[in-house]
Amino acid sequence: MAVRFNVPKSPKRQVYEASMFLGADFTSEASTVDDTKSPNTENMIRSVPGKIRKRMGYKLFADYGETIYGVHHLSTTDVWLIHAGNKLYNLTAPKGSKWIDHITNFIVDHEAEPNNILLQTGDTSITLIYTGMAEHRSVSFQLNQMLVILDGTKLRVYNGTSVQLVQDIAYIPTLTIAKNYTGGGTDYEPLNLLQPAFIEQFLVKSDQGSVRDFQLTFGGLDATTVKAWLLNSGGNWVEVYEGSAFSVNRSTGVVSFVNPPGPSPITGEDNVKIQAYRTVPGYADRVNHCTIGAMFGVNGAGDRLFISGNPDQGIRDGSLYTYINCDWFSQQYDPTYFADTWYSKLGSDTSAIMGYSIINNYLAAHKDYNEMTQSILIREGDLVNDEPVFKLINTLQGAGAISKYAFSYLATEPVFLTRLGVYAVTAQDITGEKYAQDRSYYLEGKLLKEENLEDAIAYTWKDYYILAINDHLYILDGLQPMRTDRSRPYATRQYAGFYFTNVPATCLFEINGELFFGSTSGKVYKWYTDEKDLESYNDDGEAITSVWETADISQQLFYKKKTYRYVALRCMPEISSSVQIWAQKDGQWTLLKNDVATLKYLSFENLTFSKMTFSCNRTQRVTSAKIRLKKLPHVRFRFINDLLNEPLGVNDFAVEYTQAGNIK
């Protein structure tokens, strides 16, 4: 009798494929990370939405020898200033300038070049324009063709040729007009915090021809020489001098003329003008010690400078005081005039103002994490009796800001850094109410473990929000938003995030579309821009290590044993490229393949014999390997390129496997 044997079928071969790469997920546990994200990625960035490549590096641009605290731009003359140590340098050189290039040791002459030329690794001493800055982070704003620079010690302006202290050129207000010799008069302008001078104008009436003494509003005047002018019959002011034409009692504020000025020669016009000086201790420091600001004005016009960030607090004249929750605004188009009445106290005085955001026609002031009820206060500007008024119209609850220098914009949203991550102020679609939403959930598992988050700085370049802290960059990609209501409460959208290492940035700035950064060493670096140039893939001569790691791959039945037999990676072709493919088995990493040949093509313009290939195929390449990873519930793969001057672009990944039997 014939015997029949039932031969079991071979396990069906299955395929796992990934073709979307949407940045990091450092927050979720690796086994729960979405297939489109990586629990461990480094120095990778979007090439096109859904695809990734190794980031480009940077090269030395200039060396100032001291920490770079800020970079400032005056657009009127297209001049860039570098704040390094306690000095300001001109990063741009005018036509016709000469300097010695430290690389070639040749004199460089730019007589033929138009406009300004960027100074590259030259003799910085010839571009030094100012000494006396604070060794503290600085910010700047352009107003009325002047660059206003705040560093926490003195307010300064750069006018295109020189740097001046604002208090030395500050506007002198006319305090009162039509004033009677005994006092009174009409209030005209408030005092200027930045300097002690003030002007008062008197109208001498027809029955006051013998009056010699004129009472100023204030006594206790400074020793500074008082100035005075008298109106003549031609309507011109004629100066007279203290000591000869008049004397001053500084304790009482009385100015006594030797000869009576007499009635006004022009009916109804003031005919005595006196300029005196009275220093109020701490007045100028209220402005000078500010460290942050924003351009804002009536109806949203950016024609006034709002400043805050003054850390001063303590005891003065026996009373407690604090300025951490105060801000001040300037005169329209005049950064030299900050009136003593043009200020606001925002929210609780236990929390500081950390920064500003412009939301449509409104100014949002962000408080720090000590503010429990009103973390964002929103004001609008209006004119009341021809005077600017900036009234509070709304307050928002949410996480308080932690860094003064991490405010920027991503897409159309103002974003800022908190202890909980990067948040955005957004408008609710239905009700129009404003509220704050988390935008950095996928980066927070690593970002929030960084030390000194209060020192983080941010910059928006193209579609990226770049946050720099501790030689690392955390990047949110504005081109890759992901709608979700599950990943984070009160957040309807997250952005793909990326992570760079070995970037010691203290500030970031953009010139003609190219990105630069300053460092603690005093060096200014320029990011490469040519993706096809092999020289773009190094960090000032050092190799860049790029990593992309998949999430745990267990597919549909996590309890089944899988045997992985084949892995393939589709990459962009490069003149020179390579990739290491690793796999994690039972917690241990094993190198599966180090492919140094498949991904490159022959280019005679960039011929390197040590990396030479005879392939002329410039289309996408597939590197693959037969593997045997047996009886695993899951596996994870890692792709690495760590060679000098080598790019890597990843488009697709696939692995074949079979599964049979349950995990016991």
Taking only the tens place, the pLDDT of each residue in 456-473 is 999 999 999 999 999 999
Residue 117 lies in a domain: yes
Average pLDDT over residues 108-114: 44
Q: Which of 19-23, 80-84, 96-100, 478-482 has the lowest mean pLDDT?
A: 96-100
Structure tokens given for 204? 């001498």
229 and 188 in a common domain: yes
64 and 45 in a common domain: no
Q: What is the structure's pLDDT at 287?
A: 97
The answer to whether residues 130 and 163 touch, using CB atoms and an 8 Å cutoff, is yes
Residue 504 lies in a domain: no
115 and 90 in a common domain: yes
231 and 179 in a common domain: yes
Number of domains, the chain: 3
Q: Does position 7 have pLDDT exceeding 70, yes or no?
A: no
Q: What is the structure's pLDDT at 132?
A: 96
Q: What is the structure's pLDDT at 100?
A: 41
650 and 549 in a common domain: yes
Q: What is the structure's pLDDT at 617?
A: 55
Buried b (16+ CB within 10 A) or exposed e, 543-576: bbebbbbbbbbbeeeeebbbbbeebbbbbbbbbb
Return the residue matching tokens 């493919």. 581
> Which phi and psi angles does 500 have, rounded to 5°?
-110, 150
Q: What is the structure's pLDDT at 105?
A: 40
Cβ burial of 268 (10 Å; 0-12, 13-18, 19+) is exposed
- As a whole-number percent, the residues of the chain with pLDDT over 70 amount to 88
CA atoms within 13 A on the CB side of 128: 15
Q: Does position 54 have pLDDT exceeding 80, yes or no?
A: yes
206 and 154 in a common domain: no
Q: What is the mean pLDDT of the chain?
A: 89
Geometric angle at alpha carbon 538, from 533 and 541, rounded to 5°: 120
Q: Which domain holds residue 257?
A: 174-277
Residue 294 lies in a domain: no
Domain boundary among 124, 153, 169: 169
224 and 164 in a common domain: no
pLDDT bucket at 126, cuts 50 / 70 / 90 = confident
Residue 428 lies in a domain: no
Average pLDDT over residues 421-433: 71
> Which phi and psi angles does 310 have, rounded to 5°?
-75, 120
Domain boundary among 217, 243, 277: 277
Helices (H), 379-477: 444-447
205 and 142 in a common domain: no
Residue 253 lies in a domain: yes
Q: How far is CA 359 from CA 299, 345, 426, 433, 436, in A?
A: 12, 20, 9, 12, 12
Domain boundary among 243, 277, 311: 277
Domain CATH code at residue 184: 2.60.40
191 and 132 in a common domain: no
Helices (H), 156-242: 166-169
Q: Which of 80-84, 263-267, 601-605 has the lowest mean pLDDT?
A: 601-605
658 and 550 in a common domain: yes
pLDDT bucket at 598, cuts 50 / 70 / 90 = confident
Residue 330 lies in a domain: no
Domain CATH code at residue 647: 2.60.120
The answer to whether residues 613 and 606 touch, using CB atoms and an 8 Å cutoff, is no
160 and 63 in a common domain: yes
pLDDT bucket at 515, cuts 50 / 70 / 90 = very high
Which DSSP string corresponds to 616-647?
Answer: ---S-EEEEEEEEEEEES-BEEEEEE--TT--
Average pLDDT over residues 404-411: 94
Residue 574 lies in a domain: yes
Q: What is the structure's pLDDT at 616?
A: 54
Residue 19 lies in a domain: yes
Structure tokens given for 305? 């400078």
The answer to whether residues 569 and 653 touch, using CB atoms and an 8 Å cutoff, is yes
657 and 548 in a common domain: yes
